[in-house]
Amino acid sequence: MRPVLRLPPELSIYTVREVRAQWLDWLAGPPAAGPDGPGRTELGRPEQVDGSAVAEIDAAGVQLLMSLAREIDAAGGALQLASPSSALAGACDVLGVLAYLTGKPAEANA
Amino acid sequence: MNNSDYDASFIAETLPAFVSEATEQTDLFEQLLLQLEDDPDGGEMLDALFRCAHTVKGSAGIFGLERLVDFTHHVESLLDRLREGELTLTAELNTLLLQSNDEIRWLVNSAAAAGDAQDANAQSRAELVRRLQAAGAAARAPSLNPAGPGSAGTEEPAPAVAAVCSVSRRWHVSAHFGAATFRDGMDPLAILNYVRRMGTVPGIACDVEAIPPLGALDPENCHLAYEFSLDTVATRAEIEAAFSFVGEDCRLQLFEPQANALEFADLIASMPDNPRLGDILIAAGAITPLQLEQALKSQSQAAAGGNATLIGRVLQEQAGVDATVIDAAVQRQQRQRGASAAPAEDNRFIRVQASRLDAVINLLGELVIASAGASLLARQSRQRKQVEANAQVGRLVEEIRNGTLQLRMVPIGETFARFRRVVRDTAAELGKDAALEISGGETELDKSVVERIADPLMHLVRNALDHGLEPAAERLAGGKPAQGRLTLSACHESGSILIRIADDGRGIQRDKVLRTAWERGLVERGVVPTDAEIDRLIFEAGFSTAEKVTNLSGRGVGMDVVRRNIEALRGSITIESVEGKGSCIEIRLPLTLAIIDGFLVGVGSSKFIFPLDSVVEVIEARGDPARCDARGRRCVELRGHVLPVVDLRCLYGLDGPAPARVSTVVIRASGQRYGVVVDALLGQHQTVIKPLSRMFRSLRGISGSSILGNGEVALIVDVSTLGDLAAAAPSGKTHRIGEPS
């Protein structure tokens, strides 16, 4: 079973290339254990992503996160952003993708 | 090739382009600053300044020039404060910015020279940064203080603008960032943050589908596209300004608050590559599904009738949209269609290596000669059709020649503008007050001439400031305004360019010059030349009258080097001076160093070429050498005026008897008119200028040679020195008198 993905402290244009490679490795690992047991892909099964460590983020970083969500989407899963740091949540809100990532409606200036 | 190899070769290839672009930006920066000094209200100039700094910073970021990015960022922050009106541009700030610009320039050049190894300026730069920050800090006002879109990060959002003076209106903004946005150092997050501070954003929709999944993503390409509404009191220009730094790269459309569904349909039609746009608009709350359907229907009816412009017209009629808005939109569409990858700038200018252009011009010279040869043969063959065909070829060659030489022409204004800074700094250093006036900056001349004239001009300008202009006190005592005036002007005059450097300073002090000349043995003691000849002495080698040698001029290596440089360009330099009133130095230069339109004449078996622009008219004369003096000179009357005439046969001692009828070619050069007696007029000739060999350099009146179609050599007449020969007093150049006067 693959571990919960912890987002790095810096998610910006300077690190996106490197982080993308790490995430692709992470994706290549076994999928997370869902309620239906490991190893099976099922529609809408949440993939937890821990965003608590993110301190520095820019639009390129948010885009990368969105891209990860799209990838997981395409594989039939659903990315779920858990405990985003205030920087991350703020950036996602400004960029209009907070609801998409957390699965919750956006709160004004979270 | 692995990634780092690729990066290294990419940098090696593109760094020169970066340096030349950054140099242009810094030059522009400097000019803008100096203009702002004269005209402090130039708001758009501040924007342009900011853009310069930002462009340099952005491209420096691509090359990883950390120092440059860091430093430029500080400059940028200060400029931003100025732009926001929190600071006013004082002379002090201007100086600081000029110094900072110098530092940027140094950093750019050091990036080109030695990579990133040496940093000799670290200390002075730190000091500049400290001053920039201090200047910026002074401006931190509690007012609305949005960080520029360039600044990174999510800062504390400022309170929304209170709608005090006007009512907040709802705009719809459609912003599709270009792929290069991140790489250009822009952050859409900062831009949207900034936009949010202009008002409130009730709904924003990101085009999620446009972002590729992780496996297919190039994370440094930007795929972000937004549709959002914005409630704000800001004007269209203000909203657009928020996006100005991604301008070329970003598809931005703003819809008036009263925008109707039809316009959104137009937006959708303008982005055929984005079929999801309709859904996004609905998601952003800009439009209801029903409205969209209706609009698309009515648009397809309109589209059946014609092109985008027509749709625009339909829109205008139905919705009363401002025509200019539509025009702008249509233009934007056309531009996007035309330039798929390259930014619009590249469509207007092509950068070409100078060496390639030179190669073309060299070949063109050969082509001109070859074509002259062919048409000569055709004429000898007496076949009318062949002559006509050759004439046609000749015309085309001439057009190509003009067009190609035009490519090398650049306005001299750029060179002149550089002197604003020189005058400013030099005057400050000398404790003088001087204003520089520039006119005729649009005058064009060959790029190679421009490059080679810059240094001599620089010297002359400094010289005028140092020696010409008096200190303010002395000026006031002499009844002049305290501020000295220096004028740089350029104009075209009969095939050459005339550059004038005039000052209203003390002029040449001839007694002092003469004394020095006597001391240095340049003039025999006791000999008093004419005023004009004394003036000319300052161009002699090893001559300097400056009482104290400053670091600007007065080292005695100046003016003769200037003269030599200008003569090497087939130019001439003269000085006119009135003591106490000022001096005026005139530099005459040929427009181009390569090919001219010539007027071919024959004297005996020799051929001469006059630059066609200098030929005024041709009159008939009787060949009567008896009336000439020893150097072939005499005067004739031309319509009531005396015209000095020089006979080339006598002057150069050419063989062969003069024919019974000769012609006099009337030449205008250096402000004088004179005639030249020749045997035969051979007509217009495209002349490829070849230099004279070293042996003939000293020949007076001849500036070069050219090869004719039949392989003969013709000599190109230097009309201004020949004019001096014609006009000089018959008894010799200097009045030599026995005792000092």
Q: DSSP readout, B103-171?
A: HHHHHHHHHHHHTT---TTHHHHHHHHHHHHHHHHTT--SS--PPPTTS-S-PPPPPPPP--SS--EEE
**Is residue B454 predicted with pLDDT exceeding 80?**
yes
Establish if A107 belongs to a structural domain. Answer: no
Between residues 18 and 77 of chain A, which touch chain B (CB distance below 8 Å)? 19-20, 23-24, 27, 56-60, 62-64, 66-68, 70-71, 73-74
- Residue A87's domain comprises 5-33+43-102
Q: pTM, whole model, 2 decimals? A: 0.45
Establish if A108 belongs to a structural domain. Answer: no
Over residues B304-346, the pLDDT tens digits come to 444 444 444 444 444 444 455 555 555 555 544 444 443 444 4
**Angle, CA of B505, B511 and B514, to the nearest 5°:** 115
Query: Could you list the pLDDT tens digit for every one of the 110 residues in chain A?
Result: 567 888 888 888 888 888 888 888 888 876 654 444 444 444 456 778 888 888 888 888 899 988 888 888 888 778 888 888 888 888 888 888 888 887 755 444 43
| Assigned token pair, B537 | 């002495």
Among B108-122, B575-589, B642-656, B727-741, the range of highest mean pLDDT: B575-589
| Gap between the Cα atoms of B306 and B327, Å rounded | 16
> What is the predicted pLDDT for the residue at B154?
37
**Is residue B263 predicted with pLDDT exceeding 80?**
no
Contacts with A90 from chain B: Cβ below 8 Å: 154
Q: What is the CATH number of the domain that holds A58?
A: 3.30.750.24
* % of chain B exceeding 90 in pLDDT: 1
Establish if A94 belongs to a structural domain. Answer: yes
DSSP SS3 for B269: helix
> What is the predicted pLDDT for the residue at B331?
54
User: What average pLDDT does this structure show over B293-314?
Assistant: 51
Domain B169-342 -> CATH class:
alpha beta
Distance from CA of A59 to the nearest CA of B (A): 5
Q: Which amino acid is present at B83?
A: R
Distances, alpha carbon B604 to alpha carbons B598, B607, B662, B679, B680, in Å: 19, 8, 11, 7, 8
> What is the predicted pLDDT for the residue at B629?
67
**Is residue B427 predicted with pLDDT exceeding 80?**
yes
Contacts with B217 from chain A: Cβ below 8 Å: 20, 63-64, 67
User: Within 13 Å and on the Cβ side, how many CA atoms surround B87?
Assistant: 23
Backbone dihedral region for residue B256 (phi beyond 0: left; psi -120 to 50: alpha; all else: beta):
beta
Question: Does any CB of chain B come closer than 8 Å to the CB of residue A10?
Answer: no
Fold of B412-590: Heat Shock Protein 90 (3.30.565)
| Gap between the Cα atoms of A49 and A7, Å rounded | 7
> What is the predicted pLDDT for the residue at B48?
81
Long-range contacts of B136-142 (CB under 8 A, 24+ apart): B136/B74, B136/B77, B136/B78, B136/B81, B136/B87, B138/B87, B139/B81, B139/B86, B139/B87, B140/B86, B141/B86
Contacts with B153 from chain A: Cβ below 8 Å: 56, 58
**Is residue B267 predicted with pLDDT exceeding 80?**
no
The CATH number of the structural domain formed by B3-137 is 1.20.120.160
> What is the predicted pLDDT for the residue at B160?
39
| Gap between the Cα atoms of B370 and B389, Å rounded | 14
DSSP SS3 for B473: helix
Residue listed under structure tokens 């993308």: A20
Establish if A20 belongs to a structural domain. Answer: yes
Comparing CB atoms, the residue among B189, B205, B211 nearest residue A66 is B211
| Assigned token pair, B297 | 């229907």
Strand partners, B646: B633, B676
| Assigned token pair, B102 | 């110098």
Which is nearest to B569 in space by CA: B427, B704, B412? B704
pLDDT band, residue B88 (cuts 50/70/90): confident
Establish if A21 belongs to a structural domain. Answer: yes
Establish if A110 belongs to a structural domain. Answer: no
Whether residues B206 and A97 touch (CB distance < 8 A) is answered with yes
Domain boundaries along the sequence of chain B: 3-137, 169-342, 354-410, 412-590, 595-727
Establish if A60 belongs to a structural domain. Answer: yes
Over residues B110-145, the pLDDT tens digits come to 876 655 456 677 778 888 888 887 777 765 543 333
| Gap between the Cα atoms of B574 and B587, Å rounded | 7
Contacts with A60 from chain B: Cβ below 8 Å: 182, 187, 219-220, 222
Q: Is B441 exposed, middle or buried (0-12, 13-18, 19+ CB in 10 A)?
A: middle
Number of compact structural domains in chain A: 1
Task: Calculate the average pLDDT of chain B.
Answer: 74
Residue listed under structure tokens 């571990």: A3
Residue listed under structure tokens 């530099």: B587
CATH 2.160.10.10 is the classification of domain B595-727: no
Higher-pLDDT residue of B514 and B41 is B514
Q: How far is CA B557 from the centre of its chain?
A: 29
| Assigned token pair, B181 | 């946005």
| Assigned token pair, B388 | 């006509």
Over residues B170-210, the pLDDT tens digits come to 778 888 888 888 887 788 888 888 888 877 887 788 888 88
